[in-house]
Amino acid sequence: MAREAGVSLETASRVLNESYEVKEGTGAKVHEAMSRMGYVPNELARGLKARKSVAIGMIMKNLSDPFAASAIKAAQEVARANGYILILASSGGYADLERSEIENLIGRQVDGLLISPIGSPRSNFNDIIPLGLPVVTLDQPIRDGDYDSVMINNRLSAKGAVQHLLNHGYHRIVAVATRPYLHTSSERIAGYREAMKRAVLEPRICLVESEELLTAQWLSENLFYRHSPDAMICMNWVCTMLTLRGMKQVRKRLGTDLAFLSFDDFELAGMLDPSLSAVRQPADALGAQAARLLFDRIKGKDKNKRRSIVLPTELILRESCGCNHSS
Amino acid sequence: MAREAGVSLETASRVLNESYEVKEGTGAKVHEAMSRMGYVPNELARGLKARKSVAIGMIMKNLSDPFAASAIKAAQEVARANGYILILASSGGYADLERSEIENLIGRQVDGLLISPIGSPRSNFNDIIPLGLPVVTLDQPIRDGDYDSVMINNRLSAKGAVQHLLNHGYHRIVAVATRPYLHTSSERIAGYREAMKRAVLEPRICLVESEELLTAQWLSENLFYRHSPDAMICMNWVCTMLTLRGMKQVRKRLGTDLAFLSFDDFELAGMLDPSLSAVRQPADALGAQAARLLFDRIKGKDKNKRRSIVLPTELILRESCGCNHSS
DNA sequence: ATGAAAGCGCTAACAA
DNA sequence: TTGTTAGCGCTTTCAT
């Protein structure tokens, strides 16, 4: 450390923290010594003393889907702007991994946690969150949890999307979703049900437990053969990708063979032919907002009751739903 | 801490670390006390003592592009498997941010660093890496740096791709790239040059400093008007996205108006019409390999000279290049 | 087999 | 204005 360097002092700390006054010359000498020997303060030791780590943790279900990636990017930027680092973890959608990753992060003394919870009944981490540790959930609130949350209204968004398909005159609308036990999935499906019920139509729901089961063959058997749909809605990005791939394999064409709507928009949706209509989640806004809420708590600006922010989704109407937009 | 709990001991540490022998009963009592009071050891304190943080840092240029996202996901999984956490940072492609983020991570006492360097001449961080800190670079090696690296052969991959276009008989092939000062960009452009030179054709290169300048208007003026190309190759994912968007706006069609090839493949490339031919980088393998190399160093398994791993790319031939694949 | 005590690098309270 | 000292929570000799 700088103490033995050039000058003599544990006052190094003072100049670093700009606490108290330091005589001109001394300060300069310290700075000089620090840069000469490339001194970098040990944040671990600082954190140990200050009882905080200047780090936040973020846990997502899948780090690589574009929605998560945007949220992560936005959250990291906010963290950096606040002088914090972002520790990234993944639950993979499994409750036990979620739990152990949270415990791990707590052991690292993170000052706050951003979690996109699994949301299954088994997913409950209230008991392991230390009192006073700020937590913000993304995507969904947690049962009995008194945390801030930032999400979209999955149910209404799905309902609105299905409503739109209904307005086009489709009757045999199939909803396709993976991992129905996830909160987002179940809410979106609920929205679908509501729309269908209101139209007095039979709900047609194709669920698959895990992504790898959503194959072309599965589509043929469970979707096309059983329902002969005139429209379908996929309930998340992965689902849309896999369905699109499967449909190509079985030579079903969007638009001509059936209408299509995707929950989750992506860069290329507008470039497909027909272009894909989609429900767009403001992924980066979700990440940024969540991080901002978290820092409001961490810095003690926000002492109020829990806040739940619901960001609006946007129904992007392109061609695949039957619209004729040419944007 | 557990000391005041139930029993009396600094032996708590011993049972935690499973060092030394502990009497049956004592061990049980300690465990009981720990779980009863939900004790989680403070990793900061541990790290301070052990002089390591059990954390690695990862710095990418853009956290949200799908290539980075896959690499991050893979690296995080390897880190977790090794009991390490992953601190994620972004350079945004700026040399000064890269530097300050590295310094920040070093202050956090990370045990290793995964960096996808900017690669501009100004990007040189050798001077701030402490002796003995393992570093693995992704995408490119660093000048004068003695680090392990994992990459693809950008130049040859680009050359091969252009060669393929040439074999189709195109002559007016334009290369489009953003941020030419980035190593990956310049290498790919170099590959393009080599292929064109070999065919004794005039190189046609359209560069744009930053992504937001790549607009439809820019495409019209600089690309179509100036070169009237019969084929083009975009040198990275962002570039492909923007170009595709721009072309749609100016009503240029892939396939009929000109052939197209993308450096960087993505989920939907095969679903466009015409489907996009692309150079595929093994993003997750890059991330995983890099992390594995890093842990070989961290755990001292690897004492050898620097290793440079070059992973193979794959030229995915679909339709947009002029091929007639129907996969 | 277990307790006592020193110390990791830093900050903060107190003295000088 | 600057130096001294104790202690953050843990691990690790060294005694017991």
> Domain of B11: which CATH number?
1.10.260.40
Is residue A134 in a domain? yes
Q: Which residue of A has its CA nearest to B105?
A: A85
Is residue B291 in a domain? yes
The secondary structure element, H or E, covering residue B289 is helix B283-298
Nearest to B239 by CA among B260, B221, B259, B255: B260
Q: Are residues B137 and B159 in the same domain?
A: no
Is residue B227 in a domain? yes
Is residue B325 in a domain? no
> Is B73 in contact with A62 (Cβ distance < 8 A)?
yes
Using the C1' atom of nucleotide C8, identify the protein residue whose alpha carbon is closest. B49
Mean of pLDDT values over A255-270: 91
Q: Are residues B179 and B199 in the same domain?
A: yes
Is residue B318 in a domain? no
| pLDDT tens by residue, A102-133 | 999 999 999 999 999 988 776 689 999 999 99
| Helix, strand counts (H, E) of chain B | 11, 12
Contacts with B88 from chain A: Cβ below 8 Å: 72, 76, 86-88
| Nucleotides, chain D, CB distance < 7 Å | 1-5, 7-12
Nearest to A59 by CA among A1, A133, A113, A139: A113
Torsion of CA B203, B204, B210, B214, to 10 degrees: -160
Q: What's the CATH code of the domain at B240?
A: 3.40.50.2300
Domain that holds residue B261: 154-282
Summarize chain B as % helix, strand, coil (round to 5). Answer: 40, 20, 40
| pLDDT tens by residue, A290-299 | 999 999 999 9
Is residue A321 in a domain? no
Q: Are residues A160 and A272 in the same domain?
A: yes
> Is A272 in contact with B270 (Cβ distance < 8 A)?
no
C-alpha span between B34 and B12 (Å, rounded): 9
Total number of domains constituting chain B: 3
**Which amino acid is located at A149 in the chain?**
S
> Is A73 in contact with B90 (Cβ distance < 8 A)?
yes
Q: What is the DSSP letter of A270?
A: G
A9: pLDDT strictly greater than 70: no
Contacts with B245 from chain A: Cβ below 8 Å: 270-271
CB B17 under 7 Å to nucleic chain D: yes
Q: Are residues B159 and B267 in the same domain?
A: yes
Is residue B327 in a domain? no
CB B37 under 7 Å to nucleic chain D: no
Q: Are residues B124 and B188 in the same domain?
A: no
For residue A269, the model assigns a pLDDT of: 92
**In percent, how much of chain A has pLDDT > 90?**
72
C-alpha span between A154 and A186 (Å, rounded): 9
Mean of pLDDT values over A224-236: 96
C-alpha span between A317 and A174 (Å, rounded): 19
For residue B236, the model assigns a pLDDT of: 93
Count the Cβ atoms, other than its own, within 10 Å of residue A44: 24
Whole-number distance in Å between A8 CA and C16 C1': 17
Taking the Cβ of residue A255 and every Cβ of chain B, the question of whether any pair is shorter than 8 Å is answered with no
Q: Are residues A244 and A176 in the same domain?
A: yes
For residue A21, the model assigns a pLDDT of: 66
Q: Are residues B19 and B77 in the same domain?
A: no
A24: pLDDT strictly greater than 80: no
Taking the Cβ of residue A189 and every Cβ of chain B, the question of whether any pair is shorter than 8 Å is answered with no
Q: Are residues B227 and B290 in the same domain?
A: no
Q: What is the DSSP letter of A31?
A: H
For residue A327, the model assigns a pLDDT of: 43
b/e for B276-305, b at 16 or more Cβ within 10 A?
Answer: bbbbbbbbbbbbbbbbbbbbbbbeeebeee
Mean of pLDDT values over A165-178: 97
CB B14 under 7 Å to nucleic chain D: yes
Residue ranges near strand C (C-beta within 7 Å): A 1, 10, 12-13, 16-17, 19, 41-42, 45-46, 48-50; B 8-11, 14, 20-23, 25-27, 45, 48-49, 51
Is residue A325 in a domain? no
Q: Are residues A7 and A73 in the same domain?
A: no
Residues 263-282 of chain A with CB under 8 A from chain B are: 266-268, 270-273
A32: pLDDT strictly greater than 90: no
Nearest to B72 by CA among B215, B286, B307, B275: B286
Strands B314-316 and B277-280: antiparallel
Q: Are residues B234 and B214 in the same domain?
A: yes
Supply B28's token pair: 């049980």
A165: pLDDT strictly greater than 60: yes
A261: pLDDT strictly greater than 70: yes
H helices of A20-153, in order, are: 24-36, 43-50, 66-81, 95-107
Q: Which residue of B has its CA nearest to A249?
A: B327
Count the Cβ atoms, other than its own, within 10 Å of residue A228: 11
Q: Are residues B138 and B161 in the same domain?
A: no
Using the C1' atom of nucleotide C2, identify the protein residue whose alpha carbon is closest. B11
Higher-confidence residue of A82 and A249: namely A82
Taking the Cβ of residue A236 and every Cβ of chain B, the question of whether any pair is shorter than 8 Å is answered with no
CB A249 under 7 Å to nucleic chain D: no
Residues 75-104 of chain B with CB under 8 A from chain A are: 76-77, 80, 85-90, 101, 103-104
Q: Are residues A185 and A277 in the same domain?
A: yes
Task: List, for chain B, all residue ranges whose pLDDT scores fall below the cut of 70.
Answer: 1-12, 15, 19-22, 122-123, 325-327
